[in-house]
Amino acid sequence: MPSNKRPRRLNYSVNKKGPITGGKVGSAITHYKKLQSRLAFEGETKWLANAMTIVLVKLKKYGINPNKI
């Protein structure tokens, strides 16, 4: 069974924003920027739409406004 190397679900908790979480906040911001560039290049796909909903939930839980990134 081939794999596309992209995560299908959240493998870690998005409920904490503190020193225990390590680089989750930075990773979420980086992921959001990467998805935006992919949307500009590839256009709207189902996979990208689902990934954007997941990353927007992460940013909302961390208290980050995606419009100011």
pTM of the predicted model, to two decimals?
0.68
Q: What is the CA angle 9-14-19, rounded to 5?
A: 135
CA dist 21 and 34 (Å) reads 21
pLDDT tens digit sequence for 18-28: 666 678 889 99
Per-residue pLDDT tens digits for 11-63: 556 666 666 667 888 999 999 999 999 999 999 999 999 999 999 999 998 89
Complete DSSP assignment for 18-66: SGGGTTHHHHHHHHHHHHHHHHHHH---HHHHHHHHHHHHHHHHHT--G
